[in-house]
Structure 1
Amino acid sequence: MALKHYNPTSPARRGLVLVDKSSLWKGKPVKALTEGKHKTGGRNNKGHVTSRGIAGGHKQKYRYIDFKRRKWDVEGTVERIEYDPNRTAFIALVKYPDEELAYILAPQRLGVGDKVIAAKKTDVKPGNAMELGQMPVGTIVHNVEMKPMKGGQIARSAGTYVQVVGRDKGMVMVRLNSGEQRYIRSDCMATVGAVSNPDNQNQNFGKAGRSRWMGIRPLTRGVAKNPVDHPHGGGEGRTSGGRHPVTPWGKPTKGARTRHNKSTDKMIIRSRHAKKKG
């Protein structure tokens, strides 16, 4: 997918850069694979705002995506590539010989009419899914499971991928985009290729309203508030807010470690923070 640059016919158009979606399906999604989606406005069941910066946005339908890819040894045909408002990646509609339809994450270089298959071991082609233990070393994959039969959890966002770097005692060593290297069980599924829409990160929305269409509200900086409203607030003139950045409730932010589940630490070979310590 290429990027579209617009002429500055208005202040909002000046600098506007979007992903060209002209080759995507222009109709509605498959009704049987969608469900209505209700917006929360960032509020909980008591009506209190628990997630700031969320409200409004265009009406959306949720598309059911097959993250498990457990329809083994049945070859499907890609009917079309679609836009999905719920994720940064594009999705592909796959039709199987028994007329079953399913949405999968569309990898790069997957086109309409291509054949995809999921099996214990199969060809290394974009869109094909197989067990990590059967992948050749060096393969680029996405939608990687962390537990067998749980469905893909790693590398599902636009342009992301994971690389298989080795095998060891029934485990597969993979390198993530963050630089982390970790073990994953060899019977976990993964899909060949990198996720589609790598240019998603190069978009420039050009105006605040386009973010509002996506359900994102503006957030006021802490240093622009009063001391009663934020720990960074107050002060004479323009102040930076203090030595350690914190949330409005006083908890450290911007780099503070928030990881508490240490049960999977034994699976990490090289931390994503290792390069920062050097």
Structure 2
Amino acid sequence: MALKQYNPTSPARRGLILVDRSALWKGAPVKSLTEGKRKTGGRNNKGHVTSRGIAGGHKQRYRYVDFKRRRWDVEGTVERIEYDPNRTAFIALVNYGTDDAGKADVAYIIAPQRLGVGDKVIAGKKTDVKPGNAMELGQMPVGTIVHNVEMKPGKGGQIARSAGTYVQVVGRDRGMVIVRLNSGEQRYIRGECMATVGAVSNPDNANQNLAKAGRNRWLGRRPLTRGVAKNPVDHPHGGGEGRTSGGRHPVTPWGKPTKGARTRHNKATDKMIIRSRHAKKKG
């Protein structure tokens, strides 16, 4: 997909750069694969704001996406590529024929780059290395670019699902597969975990310029006030005479270190990390 630039016919159009989605399906999604979605406004079940900066946004329907790809050795045909408001990547509708009741057996998958309408995709223990095909990581050749990578067999893909992301298989060791993530982190993943060949579609998503605050509000994002612009009662950076920069150690409103300070610790999967994503920053 290419980027669309607009002429400055109004202030909201000046600088506007969006992804050209003219090649995507223009109709409604498959109703049986969707569900109504309620807005939370960032509130929990007690009505308290637990995620700031969330409110409004256009009404959305959730699309059920097949992250597990466990329909093994059944070839499917890509019917269309669709926009999904719930994620930055595009999704592909795959038709696997008809089921026992004679109804069309269809599913949504995350669309990889270079996957088009009419292409065949298949999932299995070992398949051809083609965009959209899914197989076990242990069966993939070293150097393969993959996405939608499982961390536990059968749980469904968790790594590299956002637009333009991918993971590279860089080696094997003791029944485990070594992968390199976009962040530079290298880690072990079990060889029985599934992954899909190719990089995720819509890589130009990061190059968009929304050009006006309202376009962010359509996406359900509210503006966030800087801590240094607040009073001391509202934020650790607040207060001070005149304009102040906020002190030596930047923190969140609740005093947790931020802007690069590491807060991750005691994770069960830390033992699977070979090289931290922070290693390149130490040199």
Rounded Cα–Cα distance in structure 2 between residues aligned with 1:43 and 1:170 = 44
**What is the CA distance between 1:10 and its match in structure 2?**
0.5
What is the Cα deviation at residue 260 of structure 1? 2.8
- Kept in 1: contact 2:257–2:263 (CA 8 A): no
How big is each residue's C-alpha offset from its partner over 1:92-118, in whole Å with a ceiling of 9 and x where there is no partner? 00000xxx0000000000000000000
**Cα deviation, residue 262, structure 1:** 2.9
Partner of 2:132: 127
- The more displaced of 53-62 and 254-263 is 254-263
User: How far did residue 135 of structure 1 move?
Assistant: 0.4
How far apart are residue 41 of structure 1 and its match?
0.6
Pairing 1:194–2:194 present:
no
| CA distances 1:22-54 after superposition (whole Å, capped 9, x unpaired) | 000001100000000000111112212111100
**Residue 165 of structure 1: SS of its match in structure 2?**
strand
What is the CA-CA distance between 1:259 and the residue it aligns to?
A: 1.4
Q: How big is each residue's C-alpha offset from its partner over 1:209-236, in whole Å with a ceiling of 9 and x where there is no partner?
A: 0000000001110111111111111111
Shift of 1:8: 0.1
Deviation at 1:258, TM superposition (A): 2.1
2:126 is the counterpart of 1:117: no
1:36 aligns with 2:24: no
Following the alignment from structure 2 to structure 1, what is the Cα–Cα distance between the partners of residues 24 and 148? 21
The alignment's TM-score, normalised by the length of structure 2, stands at: 0.96
Q: Deviations over 1:156-213 (max 9, x none)?
A: 0000000000111111111000001111101100000000000000000000000000
TM (norm. structure 1) is 0.98
- 1:155 to partner: Cα distance: 0.3
SS in 2 for 1:46: coil
Structure 1 CA distance for aligned equivalents of residues 266 and 206 of structure 2:
29
Following TM superposition, the consecutive aligned residue runs of length 4 or more in structure 1 with deviations greater than 6 angstroms are none
DSSP-derived class of the 1:237 partner: coil
Say which is worse superposed, 257-266 or 64-73, in terms of deviation. 257-266
Shift of residue 81 of structure 1? 0.1
Structure 1: runs of 5 or more not aligned: none
Counterpart of 2:77 in 1: which secondary structure?
strand
CA RMSD in angstroms, aligned pairs only: 0.8
Structure 1 stretch displaced more, 249-258 or 207-216? 249-258
Q: 1:256 offset after TM fit, Å?
A: 2.1
SS at match of 1:201: helix
Q: What is aligned with 1:157? A: 162
SS of 1:212's partner is helix
Report the more deviating stretch, 231-240 or 22-31.
231-240
Shift of 1:18: 0.2
Q: CA deviation at 1:261?
A: 3.6
What does the per-residue CA deviation read over 1:62-92, in whole Å, with 9 as the maximum and x for residues that have no partner? 0000000000000000000000000000000
State which drifts further: 185-194 or 38-47.
Answer: 38-47
My pick for the range that moved more, 194-203 or 45-54, is 45-54
Contact 2:34 2:64 (C-alpha < 8 Å) held by counterparts: yes
What is the match of residue 85 of structure 2?
A: 85
Q: How many residues align?
A: 275
Tell me, in whole angstroms, the C-alpha distance in 1 between the residues paired with 2:278 and 2:271: 16
1:247 is displaced (CA, Å) by: 1.0
- Taking the aligned partners of 1:261 and 1:33, their CA distance within structure 2 comes to 38
Structure 2 CA distance, aligned partners of 1:200 and 1:237? 39
Distance 1:109 1:249 in 2: 45
| 2:89 partner SS | coil
C-alpha contact 2:138 2:192 (8 A) present in aligned 1: yes
> How far apart, CA to CA, are the structure 1 residues paired with 2:251 and 2:178?
36
Q: Which moved more, 1:200-209 or 1:254-263?
A: 254-263
Counterparts of 1:227 and 1:267 in 2: how far apart (Å)?
A: 42
Distance in 2 separating the partners of 1:105 and 1:56: 26
- Checking the alignment, whether the CA contact within 8 Å between 2:15 and 2:211 is kept in structure 1 is yes
Distance in 2 separating the partners of 1:117 and 1:182: 27
Could you tell which deviates more after superposition, 220-229 or 156-165? 220-229
